[in-house]
């Protein structure tokens, strides 16, 4: 008994004297965990087929923070390929989670209609995925960005709706991407007025039948119609929350139209290398420098839009002077426009840890100024903690409901709620079993997955995760 008492006192002492590292959102202090392939919706792709939209969530562990900043991360791939599994995206997401951020790395709708007249060059390999960027016209690129933007906006709203599940601060939401994902990110952030919708995203004439050499780029018999793509917000998770963000990261991306920046004071981090041969860091048609480098090897990439890259975005903000919002132009002058030999060729992040730290060094003061105080986020009058020790749910996982126990005084509880991963409040029945023990039964048909039980009293709010099994 004496030994057990000594051990108990030691545990109490250790628990009360151990202090978690307070996150500053810039330095790597934490371990992290990843939840894979979470469905955030579905929508119609360019070829008329329905696409399931998935994301991965990276969360810090043991950070003791109830209101973490949220980053939506968007991969590149020229709107024809790539995924949330891409190495640079994964590494950036890990870096952010280690700094105390929650990251949602998303997939979005891919693909574009290709040209009807492709000329195969002798030295250009057949069935090369890059051939799928031989688009039928410029509108295809604009429409691909627009669809990706709609998906990203939907993902932002999805993540805001589940803020309690992830302990995120919806007032400190950011979006960042690389390459094609950078275009999607900046349009998700800046294109916020209905009258800014590009005309190319309305209903257009049918796309041409793709050249037979490019058939492998498409599913069998793709739908060649090009309908109106809908409003700028898309159609996922409309209503309770918006898709506004407090800043954007543009990593070797650019703008189709710099006028979208007018009168919009949004913080931005820009990274671009002069040696980029895919997206010019100044201004030219997309892939034009690659076409020059592949002269007489592969057919040029026609029908690409003119874009303004990171250097010109930085110059725009620089010219605003004192009117400019916070920004960082991380520009590397390492090549001339005629140089095709730089290795790597500029369309990559030279140092992921450094660039992520430079980005969050810009955003961290904004987060604090928006009322996020890591030291005090869990000590407000409304307290939320997904790791509450004194409250338990049993069985967990379970079917149809659970027993909620460990409450100090069930008569002081104002409300018990159950939410799904989309933030929807589900109907439940509650029955008091005994002092501090309550039975919670669901009245809805639940799919297997993660749910959140939220318990409110007059001064506190606790949350516990519950997993529903199959019936």
Do residues 342 and 424 both lie within one domain? no
Do residues 132 and 244 both lie within one domain? yes
Say what the pLDDT of residue 471 is. Answer: 54
Do residues 358 and 401 both lie within one domain? no
Residue with structure tokens 């709203």? 157
Do residues 127 and 201 both lie within one domain? yes
Residue 390 has pLDDT above 90, yes or no: no
In a domain, 4, yes or no: no
Do residues 278 and 140 both lie within one domain? yes
Q: Give the domain-ending residue among 369, 402, 425.
A: 369
In a domain, 263, yes or no: yes
Separation between Cα atoms, residue 189 and residue 174, nearest integer Å: 9
Q: Are 94 and 58 in contact (CB under 8 A)?
A: yes
In a domain, 10, yes or no: no
Q: How confident is the model at residue 382 (pLDDT cuts 50, 70, 90)?
A: very low
Say what the pLDDT of residue 337 is. Answer: 65
Say what the pLDDT of residue 379 is. Answer: 61
Say what the pLDDT of residue 383 is. Answer: 37
CA angle (8, 12, 15) in 5-degree steps: 135
Separation between Cα atoms, residue 314 and residue 247, nearest integer Å: 15
In a domain, 362, yes or no: yes
Do residues 197 and 263 both lie within one domain? yes
Do residues 160 and 236 both lie within one domain? yes
Selection from 113-127, 187-201, 417-431 with the highest mean pLDDT: 187-201
Q: How confident is the model at residue 125 (pLDDT cuts 50, 70, 90)?
A: confident
Q: How confident is the model at residue 386 (pLDDT cuts 50, 70, 90)?
A: very low
More confident residue, 344 or 440: 440
Say what the pLDDT of residue 375 is. Answer: 87
More confident residue, 253 or 469: 253
Q: Are 79 and 149 in contact (CB under 8 A)?
A: no
DSSP letters for 394-455 = ESSSBSSEEEEE--S-GGGEEEEEEE-TT-PEEPEEEEEEETTEEEEEE-S-PPSEEEEEEE
Q: Which of 41-55, 139-153, 303-317, 396-410 has the lowest mean pLDDT?
A: 396-410
Say what the pLDDT of residue 5 is. Answer: 35
Q: What is the mean pLDDT of residues 114-133?
A: 89
Say what the pLDDT of residue 385 is. Answer: 39
- CATH number where 136 lies: 3.40.50.1820
In a domain, 13, yes or no: no
In a domain, 442, yes or no: yes
Q: What is the mean pLDDT of residues 333-343?
A: 74
> Which backbone phi and psi does 360 adopt, to 5 degrees?
-75, -20
Summarize pLDDT for 218-261 with one digit per residue, the tens.
987 889 999 999 999 999 999 889 999 999 999 999 999 999 88
In a domain, 386, yes or no: no
What's the distance, Cα to Cα, between the start and end of the chain in Å?
Answer: 45
Say what the pLDDT of residue 123 is. Answer: 83
Summarize pLDDT for 7-63 with one digit per residue, the tens.
433 333 333 334 568 899 999 999 999 999 999 999 999 999 999 999 999 999 989
Do residues 431 and 354 both lie within one domain? no
Whether the model pTM is above 0.85: no
> Which backbone phi and psi does 247 adopt, to 5 degrees?
180, 165
Q: Which domain holds residue 107?
A: 25-369
Say what the pLDDT of residue 294 is. Answer: 87
Do residues 408 and 284 both lie within one domain? no
- Counting the structural domains of the chain, the total is 2
Residue 176: HSE in the Cβ half-sphere, 13 Å Cα cutoff = 28
Do residues 335 and 425 both lie within one domain? no
Do residues 237 and 304 both lie within one domain? yes
In a domain, 459, yes or no: yes
Selection from 70-74, 383-387, 413-417 with the highest mean pLDDT: 70-74
Say what the pLDDT of residue 7 is. Answer: 43
Do residues 270 and 181 both lie within one domain? yes
Residue 405 has pLDDT above 60, yes or no: yes
Residue 351 has pLDDT above 50, yes or no: yes
- Mean of per-residue pLDDT scores for the chain: 88
- CATH number where 437 lies: 2.60.40.1220
């Amino acid at each position: 008994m004496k030994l057990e008492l000594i051990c108990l006192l030691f545990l109490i002492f250790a628990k009360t004297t151990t202090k978690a590292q307070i996150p500053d959102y810039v330095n790597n202090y934490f371990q992290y965990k990843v939840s894979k392939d979470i469905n955030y919706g579905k929508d119609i792709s360019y070829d008329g087929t329905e696409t399931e939209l998935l994301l991965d969530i990276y969360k810090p562990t043991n950070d003791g923070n109830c209101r973490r900043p949220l980053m939506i991360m968007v991969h590149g791939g020229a709107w024809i390929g790539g995924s949330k599994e891409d190495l640079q995206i994964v590494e950036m997401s890990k870096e952010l989670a280690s700094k105390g951020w929650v990251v949602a790395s998303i997939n979005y709708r891919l693909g574009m209609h290709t040209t009807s007249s492709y000329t195969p060059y002798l030295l250009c390999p057949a069935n090369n995925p890059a051939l799928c960027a031989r688009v039928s016209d410029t509108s295809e690129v604009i429409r691909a960005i627009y669809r990706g933007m709609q998906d990203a906006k939907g993902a932002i709203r999805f993540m805001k709706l589940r803020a309690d599940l992830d302990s995120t601060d919806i007032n400190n939401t950011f979006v960042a991407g690389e390459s094609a994902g950078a275009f999607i990110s900046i349009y998700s952030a800046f294109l916020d007025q209905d009258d800014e919708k590009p005309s190319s995203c309305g209903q257009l004439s049918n796309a041409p039948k793709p050249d037979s050499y490019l058939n492998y780029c498409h599913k069998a018999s793709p739908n060649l119609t090009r309908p109106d793509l809908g409003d700028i917000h898309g159609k996922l998770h409309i209503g309770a929350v918006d898709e506004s963000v407090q800043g954007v990261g543009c990593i070797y991306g650019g703008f189709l139209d710099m006028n979208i920046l007018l009168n919009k004071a949004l913080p931005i981090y820009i990274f671009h290398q002069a040696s980029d041969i895919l997206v010019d860091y100044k201004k030219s048609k997309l892939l034009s420098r690659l076409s020059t480098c592949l002269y007489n090897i592969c057919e040029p990439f026609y029908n690409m839009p003119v874009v303004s890259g990171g250097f010109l975005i930085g110059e725009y903000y620089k010219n605003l002077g004192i009117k400019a919002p916070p920004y960082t132009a991380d520009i590397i002058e390492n090549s001339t426009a005629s140089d095709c030999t730089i290795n790597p060729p500029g369309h990559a992040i030279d140092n992921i840890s450094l660039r992520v730290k430079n980005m969050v060094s810009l955003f961290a003061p904004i987060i604090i100024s928006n009322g996020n105080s890591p030291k005090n986020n869990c000590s407000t009058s409304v307290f939320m903690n997904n790791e509450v020790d004194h409250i338990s749910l049993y069985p967990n996982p379970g079917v149809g409901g659970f027993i909620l126990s460990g409450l100090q005084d069930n008569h002081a509880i104002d409300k018990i709620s159950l939410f799904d991963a989309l933030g929807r409040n589900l109907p439940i029945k509650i029955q008091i079993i005994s002092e501090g023990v309550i039975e919670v039964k669901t009245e809805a048909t639940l799919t297997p997955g993660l749910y959140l039980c939220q318990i409110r009293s007059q001064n506190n709010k606790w949350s516990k995760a519950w997993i529903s099994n199959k019936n």
